[in-house]
Structure 1
Amino acid sequence: MTTAPRFLRSLPVAYRDRLMELAEEVSFPQDARIFEEGGKAAGFWVIRSGAVTLDLSLSSRRRATVATLGPGDLLGWSWLFPPYEWDFGAEALSPVRAYVFDGDDVRDLCDEDPALGVVLMRTFAEILAHRLQTARTRLLELSPYSAT
Protein backbone atom coordinates (compact mmCIF):
# COMPACT_ATOMS: atom_id res chain seq x y z
CA MET A 1 0.00 0.00 0.00
CA THR A 2 1.77 3.11 -1.22
CA THR A 3 -0.54 5.79 0.07
CA ALA A 4 -2.89 4.80 2.87
CA PRO A 5 -6.50 5.99 2.69
CA ARG A 6 -7.38 8.96 4.94
CA PHE A 7 -8.94 6.83 7.71
CA LEU A 8 -5.87 4.60 7.91
CA ARG A 9 -3.44 7.55 7.76
CA SER A 10 -5.05 8.91 10.92
CA LEU A 11 -3.76 5.90 12.87
CA PRO A 12 -0.20 5.58 14.24
CA VAL A 13 1.90 3.46 11.84
CA ALA A 14 2.25 0.49 14.22
CA TYR A 15 -1.52 0.30 14.73
CA ARG A 16 -2.23 0.79 11.04
CA ASP A 17 0.13 -2.08 10.20
CA ARG A 18 -1.58 -4.39 12.73
CA LEU A 19 -5.01 -3.47 11.43
CA MET A 20 -3.96 -3.95 7.79
CA GLU A 21 -2.96 -7.53 8.59
CA LEU A 22 -6.73 -8.14 8.89
CA ALA A 23 -7.67 -6.38 5.64
CA GLU A 24 -8.95 -8.07 2.52
CA GLU A 25 -9.40 -6.32 -0.80
CA VAL A 26 -12.91 -6.35 -2.26
CA SER A 27 -14.75 -4.66 -5.09
CA PHE A 28 -18.38 -3.84 -5.85
CA PRO A 29 -19.90 -3.04 -9.23
CA GLN A 30 -21.90 0.14 -9.71
CA ASP A 31 -25.39 -0.08 -8.15
CA ALA A 32 -24.48 -3.06 -5.92
CA ARG A 33 -26.14 -3.02 -2.49
CA ILE A 34 -23.29 -3.36 0.01
CA PHE A 35 -25.56 -3.71 3.01
CA GLU A 36 -29.17 -3.12 4.00
CA GLU A 37 -30.53 -1.09 6.89
CA GLY A 38 -31.39 -3.53 9.70
CA GLY A 39 -29.14 -6.29 8.33
CA LYS A 40 -26.37 -8.02 10.28
CA ALA A 41 -23.33 -5.75 10.63
CA ALA A 42 -20.25 -7.94 10.51
CA GLY A 43 -17.46 -5.50 9.68
CA PHE A 44 -16.44 -2.31 7.92
CA TRP A 45 -14.75 -1.08 4.77
CA VAL A 46 -12.23 1.59 3.91
CA ILE A 47 -12.98 2.88 0.43
CA ARG A 48 -9.97 2.91 -1.91
CA SER A 49 -11.71 4.12 -5.07
CA GLY A 50 -15.22 4.91 -6.20
CA ALA A 51 -18.21 6.29 -4.33
CA VAL A 52 -20.81 4.83 -1.96
CA THR A 53 -24.11 6.35 -0.90
CA LEU A 54 -25.51 5.87 2.58
CA ASP A 55 -29.29 5.78 2.62
CA LEU A 56 -32.19 5.54 5.00
CA SER A 57 -35.55 3.92 4.26
CA LEU A 58 -38.36 6.46 4.29
CA SER A 59 -40.94 3.88 3.19
CA SER A 60 -40.96 0.37 1.76
CA ARG A 61 -40.16 1.81 -1.68
CA ARG A 62 -38.31 5.04 -1.04
CA ARG A 63 -34.78 5.63 0.23
CA ALA A 64 -33.15 8.95 1.03
CA THR A 65 -29.43 9.43 0.47
CA VAL A 66 -27.97 10.89 3.63
CA ALA A 67 -24.28 10.91 2.65
CA THR A 68 -21.91 10.08 -0.16
CA LEU A 69 -18.54 8.57 0.71
CA GLY A 70 -15.40 8.39 -1.41
CA PRO A 71 -11.76 7.32 -1.39
CA GLY A 72 -10.26 7.22 2.09
CA ASP A 73 -13.63 7.18 3.84
CA LEU A 74 -14.76 4.63 6.38
CA LEU A 75 -17.95 2.70 5.61
CA GLY A 76 -19.75 1.05 8.52
CA TRP A 77 -19.71 1.44 12.28
CA SER A 78 -22.62 -0.75 13.37
CA TRP A 79 -20.28 -3.72 13.88
CA LEU A 80 -19.06 -1.90 17.01
CA PHE A 81 -22.28 -1.96 19.00
CA PRO A 82 -24.78 -4.70 19.84
CA PRO A 83 -27.13 -5.72 18.33
CA TYR A 84 -24.71 -5.36 15.36
CA GLU A 85 -27.34 -4.20 12.86
CA TRP A 86 -26.87 -1.60 10.15
CA ASP A 87 -28.40 1.80 10.89
CA PHE A 88 -28.31 2.76 7.20
CA GLY A 89 -28.09 1.03 3.86
CA ALA A 90 -25.18 1.44 1.43
CA GLU A 91 -24.96 1.24 -2.34
CA ALA A 92 -22.08 1.58 -4.79
CA LEU A 93 -22.64 4.81 -6.73
CA SER A 94 -19.79 3.80 -9.06
CA PRO A 95 -17.47 0.79 -9.19
CA VAL A 96 -15.83 0.57 -5.76
CA ARG A 97 -12.59 -0.93 -4.50
CA ALA A 98 -12.17 -1.20 -0.75
CA TYR A 99 -10.48 -2.92 2.12
CA VAL A 100 -12.88 -4.95 4.24
CA PHE A 101 -12.28 -5.73 7.92
CA ASP A 102 -14.10 -8.42 9.91
CA GLY A 103 -15.69 -6.92 13.02
CA ASP A 104 -15.01 -9.94 15.25
CA ASP A 105 -11.32 -9.90 14.28
CA VAL A 106 -11.00 -6.15 14.91
CA ARG A 107 -12.77 -6.39 18.28
CA ASP A 108 -10.41 -9.25 19.23
CA LEU A 109 -7.41 -7.15 18.18
CA CYS A 110 -8.67 -4.27 20.35
CA ASP A 111 -9.11 -6.64 23.31
CA GLU A 112 -5.54 -7.94 22.84
CA ASP A 113 -4.10 -4.42 22.61
CA PRO A 114 -6.24 -1.97 24.62
CA ALA A 115 -4.10 1.02 23.57
CA LEU A 116 -4.81 0.23 19.92
CA GLY A 117 -8.48 -0.20 20.84
CA VAL A 118 -8.63 3.25 22.42
CA VAL A 119 -7.03 4.91 19.40
CA LEU A 120 -9.26 3.02 16.98
CA MET A 121 -12.45 3.69 18.93
CA ARG A 122 -11.58 7.37 19.30
CA THR A 123 -11.04 7.59 15.54
CA PHE A 124 -14.33 5.80 14.87
CA ALA A 125 -16.14 8.05 17.36
CA GLU A 126 -14.93 11.21 15.59
CA ILE A 127 -16.07 9.83 12.23
CA LEU A 128 -19.38 8.68 13.72
CA ALA A 129 -20.11 12.08 15.27
CA HIS A 130 -19.40 13.86 11.99
CA ARG A 131 -21.41 11.33 9.97
CA LEU A 132 -24.42 11.60 12.27
CA GLN A 133 -24.38 15.40 12.04
CA THR A 134 -24.21 15.17 8.24
CA ALA A 135 -27.09 12.67 8.15
CA ARG A 136 -29.16 14.83 10.51
CA THR A 137 -28.64 17.90 8.33
CA ARG A 138 -29.56 15.95 5.19
CA LEU A 139 -32.71 14.52 6.76
CA LEU A 140 -33.78 17.98 7.89
CA GLU A 141 -33.36 19.16 4.30
CA LEU A 142 -35.59 16.30 3.13
CA SER A 143 -38.24 16.88 5.78
CA PRO A 144 -41.59 18.20 4.54
CA TYR A 145 -41.60 20.42 7.63
CA SER A 146 -38.31 22.18 6.85
CA ALA A 147 -38.46 25.81 5.82
CA THR A 148 -37.86 26.40 2.13
Structure 2
Amino acid sequence: MFTTVETLAQQPFLAGLTDHQLSLLAPMTSRSMFHAGNRIFREGTPAEQFWLLTDGCVFLDTEVPGYDNFVLETLRSPAVLGCSWLFPPYRWNFGAVALSTTHALTFNGSLVRALFQSDPGLGYELTTRFLQVMGGRLHAARRRLADCQRASGHHGDL
Protein backbone atom coordinates (compact mmCIF):
# COMPACT_ATOMS: atom_id res chain seq x y z
CA MET A 1 0.00 0.00 0.00
CA PHE A 2 1.36 3.39 -1.01
CA THR A 3 2.16 5.82 1.82
CA THR A 4 0.58 9.23 1.35
CA VAL A 5 1.81 12.68 2.28
CA GLU A 6 -1.15 12.88 4.66
CA THR A 7 -0.03 9.70 6.45
CA LEU A 8 3.50 11.04 6.84
CA ALA A 9 2.22 14.44 8.01
CA GLN A 10 0.54 12.69 10.96
CA GLN A 11 3.88 11.40 12.27
CA PRO A 12 5.30 13.52 15.12
CA PHE A 13 8.90 12.89 13.97
CA LEU A 14 8.08 14.50 10.61
CA ALA A 15 6.05 17.41 12.00
CA GLY A 16 6.88 20.71 10.35
CA LEU A 17 8.18 19.27 7.09
CA THR A 18 6.59 20.77 4.01
CA ASP A 19 4.21 18.83 1.78
CA HIS A 20 6.94 18.91 -0.87
CA GLN A 21 9.47 17.33 1.50
CA LEU A 22 6.94 14.70 2.57
CA SER A 23 6.14 13.97 -1.09
CA LEU A 24 9.84 13.23 -1.64
CA LEU A 25 9.87 10.78 1.30
CA ALA A 26 6.57 9.04 0.54
CA PRO A 27 7.82 6.80 -2.34
CA MET A 28 10.63 5.53 -0.09
CA THR A 29 8.15 4.29 2.49
CA SER A 30 6.23 1.07 2.99
CA ARG A 31 4.21 -0.39 5.84
CA SER A 32 5.41 -3.15 8.16
CA MET A 33 3.95 -5.26 10.92
CA PHE A 34 5.91 -7.18 13.55
CA HIS A 35 4.30 -9.81 15.77
CA ALA A 36 5.00 -9.89 19.50
CA GLY A 37 8.32 -11.60 20.15
CA ASN A 38 9.68 -11.13 16.62
CA ARG A 39 13.23 -9.82 16.42
CA ILE A 40 13.25 -6.82 14.08
CA PHE A 41 17.02 -6.57 13.88
CA ARG A 42 20.09 -7.89 15.66
CA GLU A 43 23.04 -5.85 16.89
CA GLY A 44 25.91 -5.84 14.37
CA THR A 45 23.85 -6.80 11.32
CA PRO A 46 23.44 -4.49 8.29
CA ALA A 47 21.24 -1.44 8.94
CA GLU A 48 19.27 -0.72 5.79
CA GLN A 49 16.12 1.05 6.99
CA PHE A 50 14.38 2.87 9.79
CA TRP A 51 10.83 2.83 11.07
CA LEU A 52 8.29 5.22 12.50
CA LEU A 53 6.21 3.17 14.93
CA THR A 54 2.51 3.92 14.44
CA ASP A 55 1.15 1.35 16.89
CA GLY A 56 2.76 -1.04 19.31
CA CYS A 57 5.83 -1.41 21.44
CA VAL A 58 9.46 -2.45 20.82
CA PHE A 59 12.40 -2.89 23.14
CA LEU A 60 15.99 -2.07 22.29
CA ASP A 61 18.54 -4.53 23.59
CA THR A 62 22.26 -5.12 23.54
CA GLU A 63 24.59 -7.99 24.24
CA VAL A 64 26.11 -7.62 27.70
CA PRO A 65 28.10 -10.47 29.27
CA GLY A 66 26.05 -12.07 32.04
CA TYR A 67 22.71 -10.88 30.63
CA ASP A 68 20.45 -12.39 28.02
CA ASN A 69 19.88 -9.50 25.59
CA PHE A 70 20.03 -6.64 28.10
CA VAL A 71 17.06 -4.30 27.55
CA LEU A 72 18.17 -0.68 27.22
CA GLU A 73 14.91 1.05 26.42
CA THR A 74 11.27 0.41 25.56
CA LEU A 75 9.85 2.37 22.64
CA ARG A 76 6.12 3.01 22.41
CA SER A 77 4.43 4.49 19.38
CA PRO A 78 4.82 7.07 18.09
CA ALA A 79 8.56 6.55 18.08
CA VAL A 80 11.54 6.33 15.74
CA LEU A 81 13.18 2.93 15.49
CA GLY A 82 16.63 2.74 13.97
CA CYS A 83 19.33 5.37 13.49
CA SER A 84 22.29 3.21 12.41
CA TRP A 85 21.25 3.29 8.73
CA LEU A 86 22.36 6.94 8.64
CA PHE A 87 26.07 6.57 9.44
CA PRO A 88 28.77 4.23 8.09
CA PRO A 89 29.39 1.37 8.55
CA TYR A 90 25.56 1.01 8.46
CA ARG A 91 25.35 -1.70 11.13
CA TRP A 92 22.91 -1.83 14.03
CA ASN A 93 24.36 -0.63 17.33
CA PHE A 94 21.53 -2.30 19.27
CA GLY A 95 18.96 -5.00 18.63
CA ALA A 96 15.18 -4.62 18.60
CA VAL A 97 12.29 -6.96 19.43
CA ALA A 98 8.55 -6.32 19.16
CA LEU A 99 6.85 -6.57 22.56
CA SER A 100 3.37 -6.46 21.06
CA THR A 101 1.97 -6.51 17.55
CA THR A 102 3.62 -3.42 16.13
CA HIS A 103 2.77 -1.45 13.01
CA ALA A 104 5.28 0.89 11.43
CA LEU A 105 6.16 2.97 8.42
CA THR A 106 9.40 1.60 6.98
CA PHE A 107 11.85 3.88 5.17
CA ASN A 108 14.51 2.60 2.77
CA GLY A 109 17.78 3.92 4.22
CA SER A 110 19.86 4.01 1.04
CA LEU A 111 17.13 5.89 -0.84
CA VAL A 112 16.75 8.38 2.00
CA ARG A 113 20.54 8.92 2.12
CA ALA A 114 20.50 9.59 -1.64
CA LEU A 115 17.64 12.05 -1.11
CA PHE A 116 19.73 13.85 1.51
CA GLN A 117 22.45 14.30 -1.12
CA SER A 118 20.03 15.79 -3.64
CA ASP A 119 18.12 17.89 -1.09
CA PRO A 120 20.64 19.08 1.55
CA GLY A 121 18.00 21.16 3.35
CA LEU A 122 15.86 18.09 3.99
CA GLY A 123 18.99 16.11 4.83
CA TYR A 124 20.03 18.67 7.44
CA GLU A 125 16.53 18.81 8.94
CA LEU A 126 16.13 15.06 9.30
CA THR A 127 19.73 14.42 10.36
CA THR A 128 19.27 16.96 13.16
CA ARG A 129 16.12 15.14 14.26
CA PHE A 130 17.89 11.78 14.20
CA LEU A 131 20.76 13.19 16.26
CA GLN A 132 18.23 14.33 18.89
CA VAL A 133 16.76 10.81 18.94
CA MET A 134 20.24 9.31 19.26
CA GLY A 135 21.12 11.65 22.14
CA GLY A 136 17.98 10.60 23.97
CA ARG A 137 18.74 6.92 23.37
CA LEU A 138 22.28 7.32 24.64
CA HIS A 139 21.03 9.04 27.78
CA ALA A 140 18.39 6.32 28.34
CA ALA A 141 20.96 3.53 27.85
CA ARG A 142 23.38 5.16 30.27
CA ARG A 143 20.60 5.59 32.85
CA ARG A 144 19.49 1.95 32.45
CA LEU A 145 23.04 0.64 32.82
CA ALA A 146 23.61 2.83 35.89
CA ASP A 147 20.38 1.54 37.46
CA CYS A 148 21.46 -2.02 36.81
CA GLN A 149 24.90 -1.35 38.22
CA ARG A 150 23.39 0.11 41.42
CA ALA A 151 21.02 -2.85 41.75
CA SER A 152 23.91 -5.30 41.48
CA GLY A 153 25.94 -3.46 44.13
CA HIS A 154 28.75 -2.33 41.80
CA HIS A 155 29.83 1.27 42.17
CA GLY A 156 32.34 1.82 39.36
CA ASP A 157 32.10 4.51 36.72
CA LEU A 158 30.04 3.93 33.59
Which TM-score applies when normalising by structure 2? Answer: 0.86
Q: Deviations over 1:5-25 (max 9, x none)?
A: 221225344323322221100
Task: Give distance in 2, aligned partners of 1:3 and 1:110.
Answer: 19
**Structure 1 segments of 4+ aligned residues over 6 angstroms from their partners:** none
Q: Provide closer, same or farther for how the CA distance between residues 70 and 10 of structure 1 changes in structure 2, counting only shifts above 3 A.
A: farther
The one of 26, 29, 38 equivalent to 1:32 is 38
Q: Deviations over 1:101-139 (max 9, x none)?
A: 111000001001011100010111111111111111111
Q: How does 1:119-130 map to 2 (within 5 A)?
A: 119-130=125-136
Task: Give distance in 1, aligned partners of 2:131 and 2:8.
Answer: 26
Equivalent residue, structure 1, for 2:58: 52
In the alignment, structure 2 segments of 5+ residues that lack a partner are: 1-6
Q: How does 1:1-148 map to 2 (within 5 A)?
A: 1=7, 4-59=10-65, 62-143=68-149, 144=152, 145-146=154-155
Amino acid at match of 2:97: E
Task: Give distance in 2, aligned partners of 1:125 and 1:61.
Answer: 28
Radius of gyration: which is bigger?
2
Question: Does the 8 Å contact 1:5/1:71 carry over to 2?
Answer: no
In the alignment, structure 1 segments of 5+ residues that lack a partner are: none
Please give the secondary structure, in 1, of the residue aligned with 2:97: strand
Q: Provide closer, same or farther for how the CA distance between residues 134 and 10 of structure 1 changes in structure 2, counting only shifts above 3 A.
A: farther
Amino acid at match of 2:89: P
Q: Provide closer, same or farther for how the CA distance between residues 2 and 44 of structure 1 changes in structure 2, counting only shifts above 3 A.
A: closer
Question: How many aligned residue pairs are there?
Answer: 147
Question: Does the 8 Å contact 1:55/1:66 carry over to 2?
Answer: yes
Q: Point out which structure has higher relative CO (alpha carbons under 8 A, 6+ apart).
A: 1
Moved more, 131-140 or 2-11: 2-11
